[in-house]
């Protein structure tokens, strides 16, 4: 084992920059890639997407006990090293830098250190280190910008593929150089256009039969035109063309130049170079909400999977041999949590895998922040679940023709589930439930504040103490109602256009509904906090009355929040079903007894299914819109096929 021994002073690695440093001659100057990363937003977006998604996974260390057993190690030297590569350097930042350097340079370097008897890794930017000497198989040593040389055993060097040697990788940026240069020149042209008053260049045409100008006339007109064009025409007033003259533009106007399309194309090309599907980095032209689950699986399997496999193997090959205890040890990125799916999917899979119920009533009550009950710790097993009988409580009883011990196959229903209820009933129930929940929380805060000593208590501290519990309960409440409302609206569309629900699944919507519920929960929580803050700021002897008024106002806001969340969930559900059913057009239908003027003007507007309406919304209640366009909206959508 070879190390750079240091007593804790990292400067002894001599990784500083000296004037004698020159970049490798066989590859492009590495600082060019750094400049591209700083100036090209598309490159930064794609590389940042990769590095952040890999870094947030975390790396676990295991010992292989047998082919069917393994042991998680948290105190192993490798786990300690990956958890804290250097004092003050986190595992996230280390992995982020590794992936970023590999994405930008196709090379990553780390110097092995011994600090206080422990192996540590110092990441070194590729602009400050290079392989030197040797042959196409391996270098003799590594040279830093400060002139310090390190042996091959002292450096961790992870690199990609190069057709010329085994010493380093060739950056993907090289294959994008011409495209990025074109984008850069386009940006310069656009900046010059705006600097010139957003006008393209042109020529002045004077009729052939116009009277000839004297030198004085020419000078006068030239000065007038220059006074207009200098400063982009902002200070020169309006030019006056004489003798039938006309201005003929020369070059591209903004529409012809297609700047937006060009920028989108650049991002798509950069994403393709890193094998990233465009929808994952915000290009949603051809994305549908029904494939969210597939995109999520694609991210961690096909997009990030090769990166994770490479890093795991490089850790095993270049770092693990330097540790004494390395037999049967390996590192693995923690993607299990990202691939588990929704709670409903996990519950269904668990009950099928175990052959019966797997949670007690008190365990489920604890998940929903409810107190335990007597007798709730016993596992309830339905009568139709027995050993050697049905596989799980999710199966139905076999018919007479089915083999004993196997469930009969069920045909897919073509009608909406009867348990869904009606839209009006669910919306009313959501409003009542959210208002009641809000009133209970307001009363609890008043009781807690009243129990304090005389004077105005720290209301914001009392409020903050229960924030996490409130958000969890709010999210669960809103997601539960939102999921049912989305299904009701989806079946309204499916019954008319796709009774067999082909290519559609309610489960796919749950991830989106949960995210929307979290957003509404945060907004409702913030509304309550602002009301409490106003009471705290006012202070005085009447703070109790102010607190009661704030609670009443928060409850009133709850009714509005329920209506807004219901409209969004209902709109999303119908939109999702329309996309799965092959519909291509949507029509805005203004609803409510007193609709806002902007929505009244939209009534009957027809756009493509993936387009937005005149108010910038994809559907009524679209959470991406401004609050003034969403609150208490009761509009709906109709759908149609093109033509």
Q: Is the pLDDT of residue 404 over 60?
A: no
Give the mean model confidence (pLDDT) for residues 195-205.
Answer: 66
Q: Is the pLDDT of residue 640 over 50?
A: yes
Phi, psi dihedral angles at 288 (to 5 degrees):
-125, 150
| Residue 178 banded pLDDT, cuts 50, 70, 90 | confident
Q: Residue 125 and residue 97: Cα distance in Å, rounded?
A: 9
Structure tokens given for 404: 């004993």
Residue with tokens 């010139």: 196
Q: Is the pLDDT of residue 377 over 60?
A: yes
Q: Give the strands of the sheet with 636-640, arranged side by side.
A: 606-608, 585-589, 636-640
Most confidently modeled range among 184-198, 271-285, 385-399, 479-493: 479-493
| Residue 403 banded pLDDT, cuts 50, 70, 90 | very low
Give the mean model confidence (pLDDT) for residues 227-254.
Answer: 68
Give the mean model confidence (pLDDT) for residues 369-389.
Answer: 66
- Element spanning 261, H or E: helix 259-273
Least confident of 74-83, 256-265, 438-447, 593-602: 256-265
* Residue from 374, 387, 314, 255 nearest 101 by CA: 314
Give the mean model confidence (pLDDT) for residues 216-230.
Answer: 81
Instruction: Give the residue with greater pLDDT, 367 vs 317.
Output: 317
* Angle between helix 173-195 and 259-273 (nearest 10): 160
Residue 400: the pLDDT is 37
Q: Residue 347 and residue 507: Cα distance in Å, rounded?
A: 13
Q: Is the pLDDT of residue 412 over 50?
A: no
**Exposed, middle or buried: residue 177 (CB in 10 Å: 0-12, 13-18, 19+)?**
middle
Residue 318: the pLDDT is 95
Give the mean model confidence (pLDDT) for residues 558-565.
Answer: 89
- What residues does 607 pair with on adjacent strands? 586
Residue 11: the pLDDT is 43
Residue 631: the pLDDT is 75
Residue 416: the pLDDT is 67
Q: Chain centroid to CA 301: how far?
A: 17
| Residue 63 banded pLDDT, cuts 50, 70, 90 | very high
Using CA atoms, how far residue 471 sits from 229, 344, 474, in Å, is: 58, 20, 5
Residue 252: the pLDDT is 55
Would you tell me how many other CB atoms lie within 10 Å of the CB of residue 24? 16
Q: Is the pLDDT of residue 24 over 50?
A: no
Sorted by sequence, the CB contacts under 8 Å of residue 617 that are 6+ apart come out as 624, 625, 629
Q: Is the pLDDT of residue 112 over 70?
A: yes
| Residue 393 banded pLDDT, cuts 50, 70, 90 | very low
DSSP calls for 586-634: EEEE--SSS--HHHHTTTT-EEETTS--TTS-SSTT-TTS-GGGTTT--
Structure tokens given for 513: 């509904």
Q: Is the pLDDT of residue 345 over 70?
A: no
Residue 367: the pLDDT is 65
| Residue 277 banded pLDDT, cuts 50, 70, 90 | confident
Give the mean model confidence (pLDDT) for residues 150-154.
Answer: 93
Residue 143: the pLDDT is 92
Least confident of 152-161, 178-187, 323-332, 572-581: 178-187
Residue 131: the pLDDT is 93
Residue 288: the pLDDT is 55
Instruction: Give the residue with greater pLDDT, 188 vs 471.
Output: 471
Question: What percent of the chain has a predicted confidence (pLDDT) above 90?
Answer: 20
Residue 348: the pLDDT is 60
Residue 17: the pLDDT is 52
Least confident of 30-34, 111-115, 281-285: 281-285
Residue 223: the pLDDT is 85
Q: Is the pLDDT of residue 467 over 80?
A: yes
Give the mean model confidence (pLDDT) for residues 56-70.
Answer: 87
Residue 39: the pLDDT is 84
Contact assessment for residue 426 and residue 566, using Cβ atoms and an 8 Å cutoff = yes
Instruction: Give the residue with greater pLDDT, 403 vs 522.
Output: 522
Residue 313: the pLDDT is 95
Q: Is the pLDDT of residue 111 over 90?
A: yes
Residue 361: the pLDDT is 79
Residue 89: the pLDDT is 92
Compute the mean pLDDT over every residue in the chain, rounded to the nearest whole number. Answer: 79
Q: Is the pLDDT of residue 593 over 50?
A: yes
């Amino acid at each position: 084992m070879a190390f750079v021994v240091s007593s804790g002073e990292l400067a002894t690695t001599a990784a500083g920059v000296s004037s004698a440093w020159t970049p490798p001659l066989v590859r492009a100057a590495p600082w060019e890639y750094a400049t591209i990363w700083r100036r090209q937003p598309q490159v930064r977006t794609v590389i940042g997407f990769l590095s952040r998604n890999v870094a947030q996974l975390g790396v676990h260390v295991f010992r292989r006990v047998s082919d069917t057993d393994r042991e998680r190690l948290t105190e192993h030297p490798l786990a300690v090293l990956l958890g804290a590569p250097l004092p003050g350097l986190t595992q996230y930042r280390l992995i982020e830098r590794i992936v970023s350097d590999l994405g930008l340079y196709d090379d990553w370097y780390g110097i092995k250190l011994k600090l206080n008897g422990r192996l540590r890794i110092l990441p070194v930017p590729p602009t400050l280190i290079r392989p030197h000497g040797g042959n196409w198989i391996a270098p003799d040593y590594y040279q830093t910008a400060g002139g310090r040389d390190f042996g091959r055993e002292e450096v961790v060097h992870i690199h990609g593929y190069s057709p010329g040697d085994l010493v380093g990788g060739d950056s993907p940026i090289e294959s994008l150089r011409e495209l990025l240069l074109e984008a850069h020149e386009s940006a310069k042209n656009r900046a010059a256009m705006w600097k010139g008053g957003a006008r393209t260049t042109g020529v002045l045409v004077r009729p052939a039969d116009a009277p000839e100008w004297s030198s004085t006339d020419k000078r006068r007109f030239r000065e007038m035109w220059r006074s207009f064009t200098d400063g982009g025409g902002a200070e020169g007033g309006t030019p006056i063309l004489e003798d039938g003259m006309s201005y003929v533009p020369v070059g591209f106007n903004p529409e012809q130049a297609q700047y937006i399309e060009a920028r989108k194309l650049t991002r798509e090309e950069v994403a393709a170079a890193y094998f990233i599907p465009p929808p994952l980095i915000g290009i949603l032209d051809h994305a549908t909400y029904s494939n969210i689950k597939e995109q999520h699986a694609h991210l961690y399997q096909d997009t990030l999977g090769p990166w994770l496999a490479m890093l795991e193997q490089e850790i095993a090959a270049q770092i693990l041999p330097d540790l004494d205890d390395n037999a049967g040890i390996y590192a693995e990125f923690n993607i299990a949590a990202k691939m588990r799916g929704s709670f409903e999917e996990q519950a269904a899979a668990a009950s099928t895998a175990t052959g019966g119920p797997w949670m007690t009533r008190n365990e489920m009550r604890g998940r929903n922040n409810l107190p335990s009950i007597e007798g709730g710790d016993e596992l309830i097993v339905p009568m139709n679940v027995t050993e050697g009988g049905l596989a799980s409580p999710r199966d139905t009883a076999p018919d007479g023709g089915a083999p004993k011990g196997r469930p009969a196959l069920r045909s897919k229903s073509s009608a909406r589930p009867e348990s869904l209820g009606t839209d009006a009933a669910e919306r009313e129930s959501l409003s009542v439930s959210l208002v009641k929940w809000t009133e209970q929380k307001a009363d609890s805060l008043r009781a807690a504040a009243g129990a304090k000593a005389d004077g105005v208590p720290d209301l914001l501290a009392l409020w903050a103490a229960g924030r996490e519990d409130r958000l969890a309960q709010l999210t669960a409440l809103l997601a539960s109602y939102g999921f049912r409302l989305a299904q009701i609206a989806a079946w309204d569309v499916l019954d008319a256009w796709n009774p067999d629900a082909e290519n559609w699944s309610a489960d796919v919507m749950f991830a989106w509904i949960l995210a929307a519920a979290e957003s509404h929960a945060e907004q409702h929580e913030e509304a309550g906090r602002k009301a409490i803050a106003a009471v705290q700021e006012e202070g005085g002897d009447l703070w109790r009355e102010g607190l009661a008024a704030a609670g009443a106002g928060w409850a009133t806001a709850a009714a509005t929040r329920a209506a807004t969340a219901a409209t969004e969930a209902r709109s999303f559900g119908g939109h999702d079903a329309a996309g799965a059913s092959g519909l291509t057009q949507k029509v805005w239908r203004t609803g409510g007894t007193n609709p806002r003027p902007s929505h009244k003007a939209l009534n009957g507007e027809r756009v493509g299914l993936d387009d937005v309406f005149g108010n910038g919304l994809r559907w009524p209640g679209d959470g991406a819109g401004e609050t003034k366009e969403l609150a208490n909206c009761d509009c709906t959508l109709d759908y149609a096929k093109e033509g």
